[in-house]
Amino acid sequence: TPVADSSDTQFAPSNIALCKYWGKRDVELNLPVNSSLSVSLAHLGSRTKVSVSDSDQVWLNGAQVAAGDKFARKVIAFIDLFRRGTDHCVRVETENNIPTAAGLASSASGFAALMLAIDQFYGLNLEPSVLSAFARMGSGSASRSLYEGFVEWQMGIREDGMDSFALPLDVRWPQLRIGLLKVDTGEKAVDSRAGMNRTVDTAHLYQSWPLQAAADLERLHQAIADQSFTCLGETAEQNALSMHATMIASWPPLLYWQPDSVAAMQTVWQARAEGLELYFTMDAGPNLKLLFTADAETAVNQRFPGLEVIRPFG
């Protein structure tokens, strides 16, 4: 039962994984095959409020979403995990300040902010790790959006998933920069849920993914501890390409890249050959996220004019 007419507006940041979550060992609970590690995108994310209403309503960026819409159904299904019966209806309002033109997924910050709003609305006062475990059920990557900075989502081993949640790393890296390189921002034909299920079910190559992810996670921890940007960039880029290799090896094949994605990769590799420390990562879509440090910002901007640059540590 709600403890107030409305929650406050709650914020959660978006995040980008350096070691990706790809593949579920439990499809219902969103339990991952591997642990993952991300960096949150500071002020870019979602603001969400839950209030009592006459009917269930979902609002996104000031406009009501049709009740039959996939997004609205996911949000209401998530609310149903916490309300008993249908004795009250809710209105969920979300504002994303993620530049839509950047082609960044908003489900991670969206479900994390929704979880925070639900926690307040129902007076649950859950621990951060429990909030993270619940947010995970809305969208796996949302488990990591409960925190700022570097975050690790530990896969856990329990069948009920209560040990599968994210924790923040107590290390900052103020020079780190992330560039959002937009290739195409249209809605993709195969979302990440369908994409990872297809990969797990059909790609023999997927068998090597858990080993790659475990090794990369270890290297990233070392890179962050040493503040070694070369190690961080190399590991993140190889991890993303390994994930995409498993997608390409699925059937029907899953290739999220477009010709401009490949052209951008080649520009990154060319820049690196010329001595610029620049790397990229990619999620289940055609857009690149560039990784570099503050001292390379001018040179990166010259090669990618108009790049949206984020400072994850302020």
Q: Kindly write out the interface string for residues 163-192 of this chain, putting x where it contacts ligand PMV by CB under 6 A and - elsewhere.
A: -----------------------------x
Residue from the set 7, 35, 36, 106 that interacts with ligand PMV by CB under 6 A = 36
Residue from the set 34, 57, 107, 109 that interacts with ligand PMV by CB under 6 A = 107
> Apex CA 222: angle with CA 150 and CA 247, to 5°?
70
Residue from the set 17, 113, 118, 300 that interacts with ligand PMV by CB under 6 A = 17
Q: Could you write out the DSSP letters of every residue in 21-44?
A: ---EEETTTTEESS-EEEEEEEEE
Rounded to 5 degrees, φ, ψ at 36 are: -140, 165
Distance CA 173, CA 9 (A): 28
CB of 33 to ligand PMV, least distance (A): 12
Q: Is 141 in the site for ligand PMV (CB under 6 A)?
A: yes
Q: Nearer Cβ to ligand PMV, position 10 or 35?
A: 35
CB of 206 to ligand PMV, least distance (A): 14
CB of 199 to ligand PMV, least distance (A): 10
Q: Nearer Cβ to ligand PMV, position 179 or 285?
A: 285
Q: Name 159's Cβ contacts closer than 8 Å, sequence gap at least 6.
A: 26
**Residue 239, CB-side half-sphere exposure with 13 Å CA sphere:** 32
3-state helix, strand, coil in the chain (%, to 5): 40, 25, 35
The piece of 66-74, 133-141, 171-179, 218-226 that touches ligand PMV (CB under 6 A) is 133-141
Angle at which helix 229-248 crosses helix 209-226, to 10 degrees, equals: 160
Q: Kindly write out the interface string for residues 209-238 of this chain, putting x where it contacts ligand PMV by CB under 6 A and - elsewhere.
A: ------------------------------
Distance CA 197, CA 125 (A): 33
Q: Name 181's Cβ contacts closer than 8 Å, sequence gap at least 6.
A: 264, 280, 287, 288, 289, 290, 304, 307
Residues in contact with ligand PMV by CB under 6 A are 17, 20-22, 36, 105, 107-108, 139-141, 192-193, 283-284
